[in-house]
Amino acid sequence: MFLRLRLPLLLTLLAGLIPIIAFFFKDDATFIKKPNSWLEQDMVIVSGFALLLGVVNVVQSNVRKIERREKGWLFAAVLLFGMFFMGIFGAAGAMRLGGLPGIGNYPNGTPTPFAWGSVYMFTPLQSTMFALLAFYIASAAFRAFRVRNLEATILLVAAVFVMLGRIPVGEGAFGSVTEWMMQVPNGAAQRGIIIGAALGAASLSLRVILGIERSYLGLEKSE
């Protein structure tokens, strides 16, 4: 029970309290700054293992889908091909293996396999994805801007002024109004959202540090 429950809770408590305490001390307070530095280095190591675990999970789930010929298995095959293509040539280029000059171009200007995949595979796919998102955004905007009540009317009017101030035709007439709306009402709303999110994150962090929230342990129920 100690190794399964108590030890993870104790490590979480220490890993959460040390950075908080170190924040209130100067750099010469080595008794707390050194452990905090060790934790920051360990976090990089843990992130690396988490990335590896994520890759293994992606490979297992997609290979299973390909073997069972489930719906979308061709997309899973393309995903695995792209992941291994970019991963292998990216790692080889970073370590200068096989005569690769890093992950950029050869001395004659020819792109390395990693650069070729980034320019001719990843960039077009990214552009296509954002181009498709434009239609979803337009559909969502149409539903959101339908005048049904006072709030929807205010949203519609504000959106019209912002759009007019962002295009060359209305930039001169509505540019100042648009900037005021973006900095004052929109800025105030953004700050409120950020403050609320920060309070929520702080609350959840305290629950994890104090051992109240234990879902990350993978146990069926808290003990």
Candidates 104, 124, 123; CA nearest to 114 is: 104
- Condensed to tens digits (0 to 9), the pLDDT of residues 135-150 reads 888 888 788 777 778 8
CA dihedral 20→22→23→28, nearest 10 degrees, is: 180
- What pLDDT band is residue 58 in, cutting at 50, 70 and 90? very high
- What pLDDT band is residue 222 in, cutting at 50, 70 and 90? very low
Query: How confident is the model over 64-84, as a mean pLDDT?
Result: 92
pTM over 0.75: no
Under 8 Å between Cβ of 39 and 19: yes
Residue 223 pLDDT > 50, yes or no?
Answer: no
| Amino acid symbol at 171 | E
Helix (H, G, I), strand (E, B) or coil at 145: coil
| 24: alpha, beta or left? (left if phi > 0; alpha if psi -120 to 50) | alpha
CA distance 96 to 51: 22
| 99: alpha, beta or left? (left if phi > 0; alpha if psi -120 to 50) | left
